[in-house]
Structure 1
Amino acid sequence: MARLLQKYGARWLLGLLLCAAAILHTANVLHADTLDRMDTFVSGLRMRLETPVLDPRVVIVDIDEKSLAEVGRFPWSRNVMARLVEQLTVKYEVAAVGFDVSFPEPDTSSGYDVLKQLAQGELQQVPGLQGQLARLQPQLDYDGLLAQALQGQPVVLGYNLSGSQAKGMLPKPAFTEEALNGRTVDAYKVAGYEANIARLQSAALSAGIFTAMPDRDGVVRSTPLLQKIGQGYYPTLSLATAAVALRARAINPLFEGTVDTLSESQRANGGLEAIGLFHAEGNIRIPVGEGLTTTVQYRGPGGPQGGGYRYVSAADVLRGAVPAEQLAGAIVLVGTTAPGLNDLRATPVNAQYPGVEIHANMISSILDGSFKFRPDYASQFEAVQLLVLGLLLALLLPVLAPAWSILLALLAGGAAAAFNFYLYSAHDLVFNVSSMLVLALALFILNVAWGYFFEVRRGRALVSRFGEYVAPELVAEMAENPEKYNMDGESRELTVMFVDVRGFTTISEGLTPKVLREYINLYLTAMSTDIRDSHRGTLDKYIGDAVMAFWGAPVAFPDHASRGVATALLMQASAQRLNQDFLQRGWPELKIGIGLNTGQMHVGDMGSEIRRAYTVMGDAVNLGARLEGITKVYGVGIAVGEVTRAEAPEFAYRELDLVRVKGKNEPVAIFEPLALDSALAQPARDELARWHAALALVRSQQWDAAQAALEALQAGAPHGLYQLYLERVAHHRAHPPGAGWDGVTTFDTK
């Protein structure tokens, strides 16, 4: 643990400080406008990600360009609006009509007042004019026609709020301050309004406020459900229209608990939990926040092509050309999308969003009883998420490799975003997520920057020291933990390899210097690639045409012997391919011998003050060099020591001999690896068994039987090894070694 603290303690501490800062922001102790703007962006993105679903319950009768072309410029005369109301309520039998237009002034477009004034002045002597005007008065009283059409129908008029001027007639409030019994409800208060003329409002069933209260950036994300005028609380157009459609008997505030049990936010609002819409089939609870606001849940990008609501042209309704099934029983909102009528709003889903469709979205949410809202415990919930996410990333990112760090940061950020969207879409809960995403990014950048500024130097030094010796992927692995690797001398078990070209002196004498350079470069490149890249060996040095390599350092591999044997077999295959190419070029034949040995060796940065190299030394290394030379004697391409064979048992081996090499008194068994044991073909397996039986006959001095067995092997598959032992049998028959013979072959030269 002490080592971990020493290595990662500083990064852990900085990560925890970032986590604490994020939690303090959520608790409003620290404040960052950038994060607020990001949350605003995410809020809109969540809405845009939801697929629009057509709500057939709400239909928008659009005063569109087609309607303006057919009926005339807007505002239309009240007799036209009366016909529109009659068509919707009588012919199509809609559930409710909400007007996203207001009627604050009397309609004098019929000319009746002018005719009446003329009849009482210059034209008062015209016979019958007064009577004719009296008969025409009902037809020319457009306000009266509209009032008559409104009478007893489920129609909700709309009206505006204004500075301090009170104009027109207000509808009956949803409830009054007196009805709160001393409770305080936090609502937006206004002194002025521009309501509909009394004649129309008296005839209408209800009225609602046009509410478009954008945020500081001008985007409409939420809307008040009610606003306070004087002592009364008046509903918006969407709430009033939904109430009429549902035949609601009351709109009342819903309180929870006593003042002592309320949260701080609830107490600021007098304990108000929601607005209740009470109707015959039950009640709908609409959660509200500050100012009795609720979030608008937008269904698609809006407009006739937005997919959220069906739009029908007002001109088609007036002509009765709309199929009855599209309007019957629906809640209708009368509004306009014509660009010149200035009823377009900026919303999170569209900068040019029809204002009438904002009301439609609210009505849909009310009908569904589904509202996106931010609960009172939101800050605490977000703080817990930040704590879990922050601890996870702060503790794990420093100890992970770069690729895993990227993956973890992406997964953590993605999981936070996905969980946030799940709560939003499945449970209607609105939580901020930007703090978590920024925290994940900040912790990742912290660790990347730390790694770059504090660890890259050590990694670069390691790359420069070991880059020539080992494969790039091993250098990358070492660079992740540079303190684990150094060039200090140490003793450990390794596997060493020596490779040499057969007859290289003759080859070099027969080639020009330029061709010889290409010959040796191609050969050394192929061998080095097999050693370093294919099986992660450490390339020690070139000694003329010879190559020296080892496995198990600087990166420790428990299977270093197996890697060495596999590399030797691969190199022989590569040499055969190169030989075919060389022969086609007219170059001398290429054959190589490989010696492998496993044992305790000294490894490290060795040499003089002038030149040093990372290499291995020891008796086991010397034996490896001797084994490479011995391959020529036995006519094989590879010779390995008995320790190598024991530690790489997955290969099939042919035992070559018991030898005593120069400089060592103890005999060692030497072997030729043939292939992976599982890949050895049956004929080769049979030949191998016959060879080992023949070798046993030689060692037991059964010369006749040994000779017969060897001759049979040589006849079936000629090999220099079989010929060598036939010659030895002949020698021993002529010069018997005696009863104390141990079967060891002694080599007096290197």
Structure 2
Amino acid sequence: MAGETWKLIQERWRHHGRAMLGIALAATLIAWACEEAKVLESTEHIAYDEALVRFTGGRKESKQVVVVAIDQDSIDEISQNAQLQINFGNWPYTRTLWASIAQELKAQGARAVLFDAVMDERTADESVDLGFAQVLRETGLPFYLGMSTSESAKRIVHADLQAPVPLTVPEAAPAASPPEDDSFPEEEEFKEAPAPATPVLTPGALARALAFPARRAEGEPLPRIGQMPSKPPPKPRYPVPPTPALVSAVNGVGLVDMEADGDGSMRRTRFAYTDGTNTYVTLPVRMMADLLGAKEVVFSGRTLRLGEHTWHVDPDGSAALDYGGPLEKRFVAVSLFDVLNDWIHRSKGEKLDLAADIFQDKVVVIGGTAVGLNDIKATPFSAAEPGLVKQATVVDTLLSGTFITRAPLAVDLGLTFFVALVSVVLLMTARWTPLEVAWPVALILGLHVLTGLLLKTAHTHVLMAMPALAGVGASVAALAFNHLVANRETQFIRQAFHRFMEPKLVEQMIRSRQLPRLDGENKEITAFFSDIRGFSTFSERFKEDPRQLVRILNTYLTTVSGALLREGGCLDKYIGDAVVCLFGAPMAQEDHAVRACRGALAAKAAVEVLRVDFREKGFPDVYTRIGVNSAVNFVGNFGSDQLFSYTAIGDGMNLAARLEGANKAYGSVIMIGPRTYELAHEHIEVRELDRVRVAGKTEAVTVYELLALKGQLDASTRHTVARYHEALGLYREARFAEAVKVLEAEAARSPEDGPTAKLLERCLEYLEAPPEKFDGVANLEK
């Protein structure tokens, strides 16, 4: 079976290989064109998100990054406490609160703080900003602040990044002190400091504070600020700097723009941008540059380098974020109010509520999680995720992770062509309806698993939508091709066999898709051969009237053919008066041997009726001998470019022809071979005639006379068969005299039985001239 299947695959590939390659290539090019035209962008986003969530989600909490969440509980607690309202106000809180948070985080051993927000508006009381700045300087806590961009912002002058940042910093107000107890009295407990002057920043100094060296080793420009993966920005955008007091106090500032894809979901980051004059980095990169001792950001090919550290990125300098799960499962989140409360407890020498090591040596990301803060974004893991999850993920990855990068175009195209080719070869080769239905589904699921595993193990994003489109498109084209080929084959089968098989069988063969392999195949069939005794003498009588011979012969052939067709036979050919018929091909028939036996008996009965009619009309006798044999033969279309027909060749066909001729030597009408008897013995009545050796063969085979269908043999014939078998046993033991006695008695009782007479004649011959070497096997000559 496996060998036959492989031959079928080779055969169809040989016949349709160019069509398969052409369809696969066309499907690949169409899918690539759709990808380049962004037609598949939304579909790819959906597929990517599904694979990312299913295969990369569930990672353990980060051990290096902690989130301080401005959550709804914190907002409620502060708004419901009169003293805190007086001290910090409503959201956005006064910077005195952030000074207190910075002091507490420093006390708890935080490594650095990334503040996912901007402070670009001056407060009414500038001393508050200066007080916050003074706290940052005094604590020495690395503190990094966000910086937004705007189309209305002023262009920043070119930054001389080699020069120092000269600042004139006046004496700042002292930091706020906590209340004496935690009852938050209504009277103000914080002493008011004298109003200091705001530091002065020159344009050059401001530029040096905001910009950061970033370049491509290949000399290509960085993306413009605000540039999204899906489309370029409509207008130039420029950074909006924090207030001057904070610019001089924080360790660095970085861009915190959304960096969303066209559908609004945050999947990637670009790390560094330019406004055409200066280069700027994102907030996580700015912080990590200091933590890693890097003086510039360098992109080289598919590598991002900060100091001695490198990460794989895409050729355009971007990379996808390996979130590993939603915010609440990936990072330890501490409520802002809990940190503020511990600051109050610490200042009073009271026991802290938070774990002692919760911030120890951790990078702290501060950002909003409350819905009312309008910092809810979409990510692959959630349509409503706090925006700070992006900053936390980038920081965590830069500390000890790997970004997700796009596979090279050659890999995407190779996979696309491979999927298209497999689809078209599979469907055009198998031509199996269940597979045609199931394959597109299996294809999509397989690509989902493949891309998901690559995301998980190799952190590589291989396109799914493009190969899926190519595979489905190639499948549709393959089905259309199969339909066209099937229609052609069906029409050919109908034309080729409607004259040689029952029309109902032809249609059944077509409906059941049991179409023959017209270029040939090995299969077991049963062959039928018949011939008229003395046809040469028969035709001599009509030498002067050949038309009458044709009419008689046509009547005979129609009679025999009709009996065979009714049993499902396929007429192979007519050779003069001889009829050749196949059972089991082209339509597969498990009971081909039984059908052939029934057909032979039906043909014999029909000829007997015809003989009576011919005798009454004075026509010659059409006594017919029949040979039937089952064997594996090679069946298919044979012939030349000018003429070919569906037939069979092989030793099995030769033996069937020999058996037809051997009837003459045994006085029988229908002789069948050993394999036919083996397959049909439960359905037929036979007489074992002899063991014969065919010319050119050394192995002897047993041949049988087909007498009737099972249970239809009359008692007289049954008696004759029994006596014949008795005599045959004696004959094989070379007891010829004893065999003669049995045969003479039976011949006297049934003088019309041909095999009895023939075996008697042979035994008498051996009595007169005993053979020198007798093995009980007769030689069946050509």
8 A Cα contact 2:417 2:467, kept in partner = no
CA separation of 1:619/1:152 partners in 2, compared to 1, >3 Å: closer, same or farther?
closer
* 1:434 paired residue among 457, 465, 485: 465
Cα deviation digits, residues 716-738 of structure 1 (max 9, x gap): xxxxxxxx99x99xxx9xxx999
Distance 1:235 1:182 in 2: 18
CA separation of 1:274/1:17 partners in 2, compared to 1, >3 Å: closer, same or farther?
closer
Aligned counterpart, 1:309:
331
Distance 2:706 2:510 in 1: 29
Shift of 1:448: 1.1
Identity over aligned residues, as a percent?
Answer: 19
Alignment of 1:255-654 (within 5 A): 256=300, 274-278=303-307, 282-285=308-311, 287=313, 289-290=315-316, 292-300=317-325, 302-304=326-328, 307-320=329-342, 321-374=353-406, 378-390=408-420, 397-403=427-433, 418-453=449-484, 455-456=486-487, 458-459=489-490, 468-469=504-505, 476-479=512-515, 494-495=526-527, 551-555=583-587, 563-564=591-592, 597-598=628-629, 641-644=672-675
Aligned counterpart, 1:248:
292
Shift of 1:95: 2.0
CA separation of 1:195/1:445 partners in 2, compared to 1, >3 Å: closer, same or farther?
same
8 A Cα contact 1:495 1:550, kept in partner = yes
Aligned counterpart, 1:664:
none
**Match of 1:206, as an amino acid?**
G
Alignment of 1:40-59 (within 5 A): 40-52=45-57, 53-56=59-62, 57-59=64-66
**Match of 2:244, as an amino acid?**
A
**Match of 1:361, as an amino acid?**
T
Cα deviation digits, residues 141-175 of structure 1 (max 9, x gap): 57515641564002222221222335996773563
Q: State the TM-score, normalizing by the size of structure 2.
A: 0.56
Shift of 1:45: 2.9
Cα deviation digits, residues 591-621 of structure 1 (max 9, x gap): xxxx9942799x99xxxxxxxxx999x9979
**Match of 2:390, as an amino acid?**
I
**Match of 2:61, as an amino acid?**
D
Aligned counterpart, 1:126:
none
CA separation of 1:314/1:655 partners in 2, compared to 1, >3 Å: closer, same or farther?
farther
Shift of 1:341: 0.8
Aligned counterpart, 1:123:
none
* 2:266 paired residue among 202, 209, 220: 220
Q: Give the gaps of 5 or more residues in structure 1.
A: 114-136, 257-265, 267-272, 486-491, 498-530, 541-548, 570-594, 605-613, 628-638, 660-667, 674-690, 711-723, 745-750
8 A Cα contact 1:106 1:143, kept in partner = no
CA separation of 1:6/1:65 partners in 2, compared to 1, >3 Å: closer, same or farther?
closer
Q: State the TM-score, normalizing by the size of structure 1.
A: 0.58
Distance 1:21 1:103 in 2: 50
Shift of 1:698: 7.7
Shift of 1:704: 13
What's the Cα RMSD here? 6.0
CA separation of 1:283/1:449 partners in 2, compared to 1, >3 Å: closer, same or farther?
same
Shift of 1:251: 4.2
CA separation of 1:208/1:449 partners in 2, compared to 1, >3 Å: closer, same or farther?
same
Instruction: Give 3-state SS (helix, strand or coil) of 2:53's partner.
Output: helix
* 2:249 paired residue among 192, 203, 217: 203
8 A Cα contact 1:459 1:480, kept in partner = no
Aligned counterpart, 1:686:
none
Distance 1:344 1:564 in 2: 74
**Match of 1:54, as an amino acid?**
K
Instruction: Give 3-state SS (helix, strand or coil) of 1:208's partner.
Output: strand
Instruction: Give 3-state SS (helix, strand or coil) of 2:330's partner.
Output: coil
Shift of 1:32: 3.5
8 A Cα contact 2:323 2:393, kept in partner = yes
**Match of 2:259, as an amino acid?**
M
Shift of 1:565: 5.8
CA separation of 1:705/1:365 partners in 2, compared to 1, >3 Å: closer, same or farther?
farther
Aligned counterpart, 1:121:
none
Shift of 1:66: 1.0
Q: Give the gaps of 5 or more residues in structure 2.
A: 1-8, 80-89, 157-200, 226-235, 343-352, 530-566, 573-580, 598-625, 637-645, 649-653, 664-669, 692-701, 708-723, 751-755, 768-775, 777-782
8 A Cα contact 1:152 1:205, kept in partner = no
* 1:670 paired residue among 687, 704, 708: 704
Aligned counterpart, 2:26:
18
Distance 1:94 1:463 in 2: 85
* 2:212 paired residue among 164, 175, 181: 175
Distance 1:429 1:223 in 2: 15
Aligned counterpart, 2:174:
none
8 A Cα contact 1:11 1:447, kept in partner = no
Instruction: Give 3-state SS (helix, strand or coil) of 2:412's partner.
Output: helix
CA separation of 1:644/1:225 partners in 2, compared to 1, >3 Å: closer, same or farther?
closer
Shift of 1:441: 1.4
Distance 1:180 1:384 in 2: 29
Distance 2:221 2:450 in 1: 33
CA separation of 1:161/1:288 partners in 2, compared to 1, >3 Å: closer, same or farther?
farther
Distance 1:182 1:223 in 2: 20
8 A Cα contact 2:144 2:254, kept in partner = yes
Cα deviation digits, residues 685-734 of structure 1 (max 9, x gap): xxxxxx9889624876979999xxx9xxxxxxxxxxxxx99x99xxx9xx
Aligned counterpart, 2:616:
none
**Match of 1:447, as an amino acid?**
A
